[in-house]
Chain A
């Protein structure tokens, strides 16, 4: 908050007044905009914590095979709807001990009540061999972060109605949820930017028609359109194809708003002198757009990207939740949460709500990050946003 900015703008306005001739253009101590934004972002505590959440979610999903005690489709039919396994740190005599779990017995199949069997005791083992998997798709491996010897079992977040370990499935399923947002964005951004830039650059009739079309797409309630589109997916296609189609659908629903904002920005930008000069010098349109106009929308794009990913995550989760997205035996957080969508299962096995917490964490992380980015990249915000600013103020 210096006294430079207001003075500069006043000076322009009152060029006629004599005193202002005293004032030369103030020297600006330049800090590159990127560095400034980065500094502001780092001072934004909420954004930093959001970014940390997002990064850790990517981390755990990328290393799911190692972190999860079981594989995606490991099924223990006798342990269906099993509550989270208790990890004991004290033995029967209340003495501290190496963490261990007890075996469990199904005592009431109707109410799905399990009881610990104190005679069976399995110590937790770290970095032990578990079910085999392929690390990074190729290297065969079987070391897992933790687990217990069979026939013991450790279900950190309980099991689903087939007896699959929910914690492991959340880690694997997170891959779909966390990456689908990014993939969808990789499609939405170019479509939205190109569409908006072309519409805004050519203006007039082209703009009219293109914007009408965009408005039509935007005038559907988003999720209604998503539902209708998802219903079109044939049920029997392989899941990788299905995933791609879902991504396609998500981006089809999402590009309209982006295109409209970009168009507005381009409308302003193309009137700028240097753009006009380039045009007069005979620059070709695609070059003009790519070189002079689109880079100017960068900070907006960064922000809308970080706020667009959670939208796509939400869309996929919603579809999968309703059974229109990912299909068994594959998992995504929305699909996993779907097992809680019946009042009997929900009330009997509330641990099935866990995937919802992961969805919420991912979206919250991205929202916090995006919010901070917006503050940091907004030239109007004078100092760091979030909590950083207040602390410094109050101290003063």
Chain B
């Protein structure tokens, strides 16, 4: 198996823009990452940083107009999905790459039974007959721990609670045993206790099915719990990419620092949150350079004028920041080093 060596999914310089009345929204603007078999990668970033759009780009489900993937490659087992004819792409969707969405309440079709909604994908991709597909649906509902699954296949979505519906979504996504699961904030809409249950379930299923997961979230707690490596996104661009340990222990990007500082510490008596000052930029007609520069305490002149570099700290740690180029003075570098040090001693 030659593919085993290369990554399962390799996103190269992905750019997806929306052409709206107000201007061009560069929702994803040069995203690059690799995902290997069985791995879980987290994508974190504030709302509007392009996380969902990136996932929909992989599925090629960007609403067009106004959206369009204008550049880049999405190599799945070496094959560029962006070049695949739509018909071939349909064989990938739901079969090789599946997706679950943030809103379990609205992501299921209200007029079809959950069994029908699971079975239709199974019938399509696994070429099973109706009976077998429904059996498979019941089996999947059982796997996601829905009680009396055999009877509940005939129920409609409104007969399930939010957490249960997300289980149905997971069952549906995994029903064809996909290689990759794109999970777009699967727990954001759920209560905290239900969140934990769903995350446990996903971890367990990942073990059993060996699925690689792209875990999109804006919750660093979820990342710490589930991911092997992390891509921090901001303004459609990757800011920092490394493994999960170094994301928390040795972050290099000022934006990552900001994120970590804003996480409440459960054990501290005062739950003081230190927000990053300012607001996420509007992604319309962004100037070149670093999208975070407007809010960055370490901003330098180069940050807004020069194309953002991608610095390889080492083979598994990339940072997009001018602080690690020769554009920064020693003084500036020192200030940054101290800030990073302060953060790491605070401990998670």
Contact = CB atoms under 8 A, between A and B. Distances in A.
Given A7-B47, A13-B189, A393-B66, A23 B21 contact: no
B263 A23 contact: no
A26 B24 CA distance: 20
A60 interface: no
B188 A14 contact: yes
Contacts of B283: 3
Contacts of A23: 46-47, 279-280
Of the four ranges (under 10, 10 to 19, 20 to 34, 35 or more), the interface on chain B belongs to 20 to 34
Given A16-B192, A17-B219, A393-B66, A1 B20 contact: yes
A389 B192 CA distance: 42
A389 B21 contact: yes
Interface centre among B21, B22, B66, B273 (most CB of A within 10 A): B21
Contacts of A393: 19, 21, 65-66
Of the four ranges (under 10, 10 to 19, 20 to 34, 35 or more), the interface on chain A belongs to 20 to 34
B46 A19 contact: yes
B262 interface: yes
Interface in A314-366: none
A23 B45 CA distance: 12
Interface in A13-43: 13-14, 16-24, 26-27
B275 A17 contact: no
A2 B192 contact: no
B264 interface: yes
Interface string A359-396: 00000000000000000000000010000010011101
B258 interface: yes
Contacts of B21: 1, 383, 389, 392-393, 396
A19 B220 contact: yes
A11 interface: yes
Contacts of A389: 21
Report whether over half of chain B's contact residues are helix, strand or loop; otherwise say mixed.
Answer: loop
Interface string A185-201: 00000000000000000
A23 B280 CA distance: 7
Report whether over half of chain A's contact residues are helix, strand or loop; otherwise say mixed.
Answer: helix
A294 B318 CA distance: 59
Interface in B129-180: none
A10 interface: yes
Nearest to A392: B21
B276 interface: yes
Contacts of B263: 18
B48 interface: yes
B197 interface: no
Given A21-B273, A21-B275, A2 B282 contact: yes
A21 B280 CA distance: 12
Interface in B46-94: 46-48, 65-66
Nearest to B191: A16
Given A19-B219, A19-B262, A20-B218, A3 B66 contact: no
Contacts of B44: 19
Interface in B201-223: 218-221
B260 to A, nearest CB: 10
Contacts of B320: none
Contacts of B275: 21-22, 24
Interface in B261-309: 262-264, 273, 275-276, 279-280, 282-284
B11 interface: no
B97 interface: no
A36 B284 CA distance: 21
B201 to A, nearest CB: 20
A19 B24 CA distance: 26
Contacts of B192: 16
Nearest to A24: B279
Interface in A57-86: none
B25 interface: yes
Given A1-B20, A3-B48, A22 B262 contact: yes
A392 B25 CA distance: 15
B104 to A, nearest CB: 13
Contact of A11 (B19, B47, B65): B47
B65 A22 contact: no
Nearest to A9: B47
Contact of A17 (B45, B48, B188, B276): B188
B343 to A, nearest CB: 15
A20 B283 CA distance: 18
Nearest to A4: B282
A394 B64 CA distance: 11
Contacts of B262: 18-19, 21-22
B259 interface: yes
Interface centre among A18, A21, A383, A393 (most CB of B within 10 A): A18
Given A2-B282, A3-B48, A17-B218, A22 B22 contact: no
A159 B127 CA distance: 74
Contact of B47 (A10, A18, A392): A10
A95 to B, nearest CB: 56
A18 B21 CA distance: 32
Nearest to A8: B47
Given A3-B25, A10-B47, A22-B46, A396 B188 contact: no
Contacts of B279: 23-24, 26-27
B184 to A, nearest CB: 13
Contacts of B282: 2-4
Nearest to B278: A24
Nearest to A11: B47
Interface in A176-190: none
B129 to A, nearest CB: 42
A13 B263 CA distance: 18
A16 B47 CA distance: 14
A338 to B, nearest CB: 48
Interface in B118-135: none
Interface centre among A1, A6, A13 (most CB of B within 10 A): A1
A27 B273 CA distance: 21
Given A3-B48, A13-B189, A17-B188, A22 B25 contact: no
18 contacts: A1-B20, A1-B21, A3-B25, A3-B284, A13-B189, A14-B188, A14-B218, A17-B218, A18-B221, A18-B262, A20-B218, A22-B262, A23-B280, A24-B275, A26-B279, A393-B21, A394-B65, A396-B21
Given A393-B21, A396-B19, 14 more contacts: A2-B282, A3-B25, A13-B188, A13-B189, A14-B218, A17-B218, A18-B220, A19-B47, A19-B220, A21-B262, A23-B47, A24-B279, A27-B279, A396-B20
Q: Which 8 pairs across A and B sit closest by C-beta, in order of nearness? A: A396-B19, A19-B218, A1-B20, A18-B263, A21-B273, A22-B276, A383-B21, A7-B47
